Structure 1
Amino acid sequence: MTPASPLTAGPRPKTALIIGSGFGGLSLGIRLQSLGFQTTILERLDAPGGRAYQKRVPVGGGEYVFDMGPTVITVPHFIEELFRLQVGRAELGPVDFPPEVLHAERVRDGVSGGPATSRYVQLRPILPFYRIYFDDGTYFDYDGDPESTVRQITALAPEDLAGYERFHRDAQAIFERGFLELGYTHFGDVPSMLRVVPELMRLDAVRTLFSFTSKYFTNPKMQQVFSFETLLVGGNPLSVPSIYAMIHFVEKTWGIHYAMGGTGALVRAFVQKYEELGGRIRYGAGVDQILTSPGLPGRRRATGVRLESGEELRADVVVSNGDWANTNLKLLPRAARLVNSDVRVKLARQSMSLLVIYFGFRADGPQDPPMDLRHHNIILGPRYEELLREIFGKKVLGADFSQYLHVPTLTDPSLAPAGHHAAYTLVPVPHNGSGLDWAVEGPRLVARVLEFLEERGFIPNLRARLTHQEFITPDYFEGTLEAYLGNAFGPEPVLVQTAFFRPHNRHEDVAGLYMVGAGAQPGGGTPSVMMSAKMTARLIAEDFGIHPSIVEGVADLNAGAPTGVSAVQAEQELAGTRG
């Protein structure tokens, strides 16, 4: 049992149950342990990670290792902060952004993880961040280097050089306000939202991202290069608000990174840190119901959970890192929900889903033309806007597709047997609101994608070189991961589901119940999920009256002032309380 902490309210450690061991659940588990809670994470699968589950496939004398979900790691100092937490050192204020981390040159110098991170996992910068292939065979290597960016725009779309300078300026303003200053703001009430609306309007951060980029770029290739990134967090560039232009600057500022051993190695490192702080995790522990009891008039209180096995567990706090829609529809009784009613939940727009092919193949042999790929490859089809409308709006499979091809063995050969590569390619597809029969459509689309990769020369002779192949469809997200309609990223990040209008981290209907992860604020993507964990930890600390100095300045932060309590200040004040 974790020793009692001076941050803990009451004579005994408060207890918390977290449903799900994805990045959100693990990050919050680490933070709650640092606050002095005794935390148990309940995971339905046989290993941690959730969407970031890692699969191992024995082949001959070795094995293929596949990260089944996120592979793009950004903002490494968010990770560093988690690894440096200790019991009694909660660090709930805003993250400091020291000048040295606001420097892209650190990425080019090969610096990734900080000293605490390096004790648990090795991070490596990836350059270029992405190679973006266009349908005509040309490509754009995005690496965050201004000179390289200008040089490539000059070659591909010289008419857009001046537009890029304006885009860079305006996207940077959105990044500085939307991420650096407001990134940890929890929009829990209308006033918190109204305070920032005028400035977001001034920054033109509420029009759609594609419309925003089209103000600066006339060449379709540049419009695609500077808008595609939201697809990696479940957002349609034609629908997400242009505040998501900040993603470009998040990547440009801190780079793209890889955890040696795959994203699964980072998951295991988080588990190690969580358990070192005294946290517990149970596998094969699917939750059947969130238990509630009468609380304030007209509002119930979460008291624990009932597992699928029938076992009941009690706790002071219950948090769901599971799918927002199914948390409400499946785990809570209808009578306990007013704001999150069946009507509201079912009318919410869900993100698209994915077909992902995991495959292993022989490296280039004497008879094979050389493979010219990078670690992260975005392969765009002949259509962009119409394809997006088919996936998100019409919910049909088109005649063509775009894909993200991930070949981590170019960086980390340990993920495959000697002389082989492990890869996955991810194709955005409609979620299961489409009515598509994936038992039929899945194999057809897999065959088309593999044929495309071979015949277009991305991986020559691929089908003859394959030694392993499997795939998942929206049915995996709906069944195994229990995501409503098989969505891959939670509620779609459109304007009416952003900030205050996105599900709140403090559940609106049930006291003592909280949300964390892609379904809560601020949204999807590994940095946002880690930010979500900090938001939720702060709300729990506020609700339990834990160490006011740690949460001091939150009201100012929510008003947009970049203030907070540093770790040094918190330690000094803690020393005073001990005295």
Structure 2
Amino acid sequence: MKATQSARKAVIVGAGPGGLAAAMLLASHGYEVDVFEKQPVVGGRSGRLEVGKYRFDRGATFLMMPHLIEELFALSGRSLHDYVEMKELSPLYSLHFGDTVFKPSRNREDTAEQIARLFPGNEAGYYRYLEEEDVKLDKVMPLLRRPFSNLLDYVRSDVIRALPKLHLNDTVYGRLSKYFDDERLKQAFTFQSKYLGMSAWDCPGTFTILSYLEHRYGLFHPTGGIHAVFEAMAKVISEHGGRVHTSRGVQRILTENGKATGVVLEDGEHLLADRVVINADFATAMNRLFEPGVLRKYAPERIAAKTYSCSAAMLYLGVDGEIDLDHHSVHFSEDYHRYVDEVTRFKTLSDDPSLYVHNPSRLDKTMAPAGKSALYLLMPTPNLTGETDWEAKREAVKEQMLNRAEQIPQLRGLRDRIEEMQFFTPLDWERQLDVYQGAVFNLTHNLGQMMAFRPHNQFEEVENVWLVGGGTHPGSGLPTIFESARISTALIFKQDGVSHTHSADAGTVLAGAEPS
């Protein structure tokens, strides 16, 4: 696995999931690796947050398709399970539609029985959905494990085979309407479009696969939180001789004659490198990391013209006592379609929001002191391209979220139990974590920003630069972010002539693998 030539130097800009994955692979294959992270913790927008004695995952709150991260560790000569304890969630989550509560799981018979009881007549559609999505998975996933560098990539055989299953001319909501006639059940299988920061009524039909992946592979909680995985990744990098520098940001990428030669750190230090991997927020990186005039395709005006995901207002609460809610619960607004349109299309605040509640303390006692709960509330909101004055509306939105939470029977009287609180708005995402326009799910996944039309893994404008993270192919979400790192590092290895370990055929792995 190790490179036989003298070690090449690689600098990773940002210690988010993609940057850590790339650093693991490069360090384990003989590269001299330095990762520079502006924040004091690793994990990027999904890093660890401590509020008093309570611990939170700032962003992502579950791990999907755990075999992908298991593969990353294996390719780095390690086992994930030597570092992190994984717990499967059953049910996947509880979905609350007024007084109706649906708790799907990987147990298909139990889920079908619930559907028959709560949404009579839809159980056959559920089985048909699973069967048809299984075929789609086999066709689609190989496309997410290789680069798309130009339009010729669309005439390769795997694309031609997959095209009829991509449902590019339909939407997620449109596809699910072919299986279910109950609006609540459609919502139960389409709300996952929010993982991409999009509306199910606009999101390409390809992404019906998101809910299927949950039902097939399950959802997992690492003891200690998602950030425990990122901290384990940083440890593996260190074990292979790499260095992860927190609280040290990169100010600029050095270029000469169209090639990157290294970086300038925020403290003024210059560091030369053979390879530069960018894991910073894509739009922010394009606007800040290159000297004016270096970029043309991704010049500021072109960055501003792209479309971006919605944002989110977040409440992190340290609460006295235990809470009788499942690990994940979604509490849908009365008029969900209207709410989604307000957030994504009209970009206005809604008076009827949905609320996501993460209650990890029910399963993981490391997140809060004994007898207490670390509670995380998320309300999707417009990004900063909307007209909301977040400084003026900050307190009102926080109160709205608390009011909405107290409508949930298990959270009545919540205010009286709060011991610690931190509130995060789209403006905080931009100012504190450099998330462009507060768009926490990055570039949207419309047809003009997918595959070859998404920023390429091997950066088009400057040589010796590669991209990883949600702003490049394959896209947003932890599984695809991990895959972006595998694609980009494979391109680096190919360019450098470095022998590296390959896993089994991608289609076979993703169609047949089950979590260990």
The share of aligned pairs that are identical, in percent, is: 31
Q: Distance in 1 between matches of 2:112 and 2:503?
A: 44
Given the two structures, how large is their TM-score scaled by the length of structure 1? 0.84
Letter in 1 for 2:266: E
Deviations 1:93-125 (A, max 9, x none): xxxxxxxxxxxxxxxxxxxxxx92221111111
1:14 aligned residue: 8
Query: Shift of residue 37 of structure 1?
Result: 0.8
Match of 2:470 among 508, 512, 518: 518
Equivalence for 2:91: 128
After TM superposition, the structure 1 = structure 2 runs for residues 393-432 of structure 1, keeping only pairs within 5 Å, are 393-432=345-384
Once the 2 structures are TM-superposed, how far is the Cα of residue 438 of structure 1 from its aligned partner?
1.4
Q: Paired residue for 2:212?
A: 249
- TM-score scaled by structure 2? 0.94
1:450 and 1:165 map into 2 onto residues whose CA distance is: 38
Q: 1: CA distance between counterparts of 2:166 and 2:441?
A: 25
* Distance in 1 separating the partners of 2:509 and 2:230: 31
Residue of 86, 90, 108 corresponding to 1:146: 108
2:61 equivalent in structure 1: 71
Aligned to 2:125: 163
1:44 aligns with 2:31: no
Q: Which residue of 1 aligns with 2:450?
A: 498
AA of the residue aligned to 1:37: Y
Equivalent position to 1:172, from 126, 134, 137: 134
AA partner of residue 412 (structure 1) = D
Q: In 2 relative to 1, CA 226–6 (structure 1 residues): closer, same or farther, beyond 3 Å?
A: closer
Q: 2-side partners of 1:183 and 1:462: how far apart?
A: 43
Amino acid at match of 2:3: L
Partners in 1 of 2:509 and 2:185 — Cα distance? 37
Aligned CA distance change for structure 1 residues 228 and 242 (closer, same or farther; 3 Å): same
**1:48/1:268 contact within 8 Å kept:** yes
Correspondent of 1:25 among 19, 24, 28:
19
2:147 is matched with: 186
Q: CA deviation at 1:249?
A: 2.6
Q: Does structure 1 retain, via aligned residues, the 8 Å contact 2:16–2:44? A: yes
Structure 1 stretch displaced more, 394-403 or 236-245: 236-245
The one-letter amino acid paired with 2:219 is I
1:262 aligns with 2:225: yes
Structure 2 equivalent of residue 452 of structure 1: 404
Alpha carbons of structure 1 residues 293 and 423: separation in structure 2 relative to 1, 3 Å: same
The one of 213, 236, 255 aligned to 2:199: 236
**What letter is aligned with 2:62?**
V
Q: 5+ residue gaps in structure 1?
A: 90-114, 295-299, 365-370, 565-579
Partners of 2:119 and 2:182 within 8 A in 1: yes
Shift of 1:322: 0.7
> Could you tell me which of 184, 187, 201 is aligned with 1:221?
184
> What's the secondary structure of 1:414's corresponding residue?
coil
> After the TM superposition, which parts of structure 1 deviate over 3 Å for at least 4 consecutive aligned residues?
194-201, 549-553, 560-564
Please list, as runs of the form range in 1=range in 2, the aligned pairs for 1:100-499 lying within 5 A after superposition: 116-134=79-97, 136-179=98-141, 181-195=142-156, 196=158, 198-206=160-168, 207-294=170-257, 300-363=258-321, 371-499=323-451
Deviation at 1:82, TM superposition (A): 2.6
Indicate the residue corresponding to 1:573 in structure 2: none
For residues 273-299 of structure 1, the C-alpha deviation after alignment (integer angstroms, 9 at most, x for no partner) is 1100111011221111111000xxxxx
Does the residue aligned with 2:409 lie in a helix, a strand or coil? Answer: coil
For 1:575, the equivalent position in structure 2 comes to: none
Gap change, CA 1:68 and 1:563, over 3 Å in 2? closer
CA distances 1:527-569 after superposition (whole Å, capped 9, x unpaired): 111111101111111121222x75799xxx8xx97699xxxxx
Letter in 1 for 2:37: E
The range that moved more, 414-423 or 201-210, is: 201-210
Letter in structure 2 aligned against 1:422: A
Task: Please tell me the root mean square deviation across aligned C-alpha atoms, in Å.
Answer: 2.1
Q: CA deviation at 1:6?
A: 4.5
Query: Using a 3 Å threshold, how does the CA distance of structure 1 residues 563 and 229 change in structure 2: closer, same or farther?
Result: closer
Greater Cα shift, 411-420 or 312-321: 411-420
Q: Any conservation in 2 of the 1:240–1:495 contact (CA below 8 Å)?
A: no
Letter in 2 for 1:340: Y
- Name structure 2 gaps, 5 residues minimum: 511-516
Residue pair 1:357, 1:470 contacting (<8 A) in 2 also? yes
Q: Tell which deviates more after alignment, 532-541 or 380-389.
A: 380-389
Deviation of 1:212 after TM superposition, in Å, equals 1.0
Between the two proteins, the alignment pairs up a number of residues equal to 508
Structure exhibiting the larger radius of gyration computed from Cα positions: 1
Q: Which residue type is aligned with residue 214 of structure 1?
A: S
* Residue of structure 2 aligned with 1:57, choices 51, 58, 62: 51
Distance in 2, Cα, partners of 1:55 & 1:334 = 34
User: Secondary structure of 2:490's partner?
Assistant: helix
Q: Give 1:200 deviation, angstroms.
A: 4.0
